[in-house]
């Protein structure tokens, strides 16, 4: 049976995807967004207020999740919108033609919360949705979790650490510390273990937080 696990997704992990929705005028909209796999056919989105995507999802309660690794599509979806030629209309919605896989999301639960971070307080809507009509277009599929990018980046800093000046070392340590925070938020057990090993190879006195 095709479900989120058949895509290679793992329960509790966050994957970077492109969400496609339909605007009120019927035109397509695309935006990069993290999808958290909750169960085999249930996933969660955290939507920040003010985006076109959240307006479209709350209005229609239907959207599509596109699984792909095309860097240009991610850039175009962030700073504007892909070309209309990149979209294909499907069941009163839109998908991306070059998606490695895609599935429809149907909202089954939503709630609004206030969160606070280093940028201050903000409101976001947590959407829980059912995954339906999964289509896989690529034989070898690997949903993108950015924790692996963090681990690789941290390794680059680690290999440069001994050759760097003390000022540069401090910069590398701050970056590794920030990468570790992200990996612990979006990564799995192996990602977190990898970061722990990396941090263990650098004097612990430099780190603000060893948790």
Q: Domain of residue 131: give its range.
A: 4-136
Tell whether the model's pLDDT for residue 205 goes beyond 60.
no
Residue 211 lies in a domain: no
**Of all residues in the chain, what percent carry a pLDDT higher than 90?**
68
User: Which residue did the predictor score with more confidence, 172 or 116?
Assistant: 172
Q: Do 128 and 156 sit in the same domain of this protein?
A: no
Q: Do 120 and 154 sit in the same domain of this protein?
A: no
The predicted structure's pLDDT at residue 137: 93
Mean pLDDT value across the chain:
89
The predicted structure's pLDDT at residue 73: 93
- 41 and 4 Cβ atoms separated by less than 8 Å: yes
Q: Do 129 and 75 sit in the same domain of this protein?
A: yes
pLDDT-derived band at 210 (thresholds 50, 70, 90) equals very low
Please tell me whether the overall predicted TM-score, pTM, comes out greater than 0.75 for this model: yes
Q: Do 124 and 159 sit in the same domain of this protein?
A: no
pLDDT tens digit string along 143-170?
Answer: 989 899 999 999 999 888 878 888 888 8
Q: Do 129 and 188 sit in the same domain of this protein?
A: no
Residue 141 lies in a domain: no
Alpha-carbon separation of residue 43 from 38, 51, 70, 107, 110 (angstroms): 5, 20, 22, 10, 12
Tell whether the model's pLDDT for residue 211 goes beyond 50.
no
Which of 74, 104, 136 is the endpoint of a domain? 136
Distance CA 107, CA 131 (A): 9
Q: What is the CATH number of the domain that holds 79?
A: 2.30.110.10
């Amino acid at each position: 049976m095709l479900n989120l696990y058949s895509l290679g997704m793992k329960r509790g992990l966050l994957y970077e995807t492109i969400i496609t929705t339909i605007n009120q005028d019927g035109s397509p909209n695309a935006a990069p967004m993290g999808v958290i796999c909750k169960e085999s056919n249930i996933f969660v989105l955290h939507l920040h207020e003010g985006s076109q995507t959240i307006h479209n999802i709350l209005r229609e309660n239907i959207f599509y999740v596109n699984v792909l690794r095309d860097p240009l599509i991610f850039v175009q979806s962030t700073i504007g919108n892909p070309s209309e030629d990149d979209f294909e209309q499907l069941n009163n919605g839109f998908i991306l033609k070059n998606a490695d896989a895609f599935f429809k999301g149907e909202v089954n639960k939503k709630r609004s919360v206030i969160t606070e971070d280093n940028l201050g307080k903000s409101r976001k809507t947590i959407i829980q949705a059912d995954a339906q009509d999964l289509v896989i277009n690529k034989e070898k599929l690997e949903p993108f979790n950015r924790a692996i990018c963090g681990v690789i980046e941290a390794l680059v800093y680690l290999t440069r650490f001994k050759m760097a000046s003390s000022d540069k070392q401090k910069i590398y340590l701050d970056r590794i510390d920030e990468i570790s925070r992200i990996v612990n938020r979006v990564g799995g057990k192996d990602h977190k273990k990898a970061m722990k090993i990396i941090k263990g190879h650098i004097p612990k006195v430099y780190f603000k937080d060893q948790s």
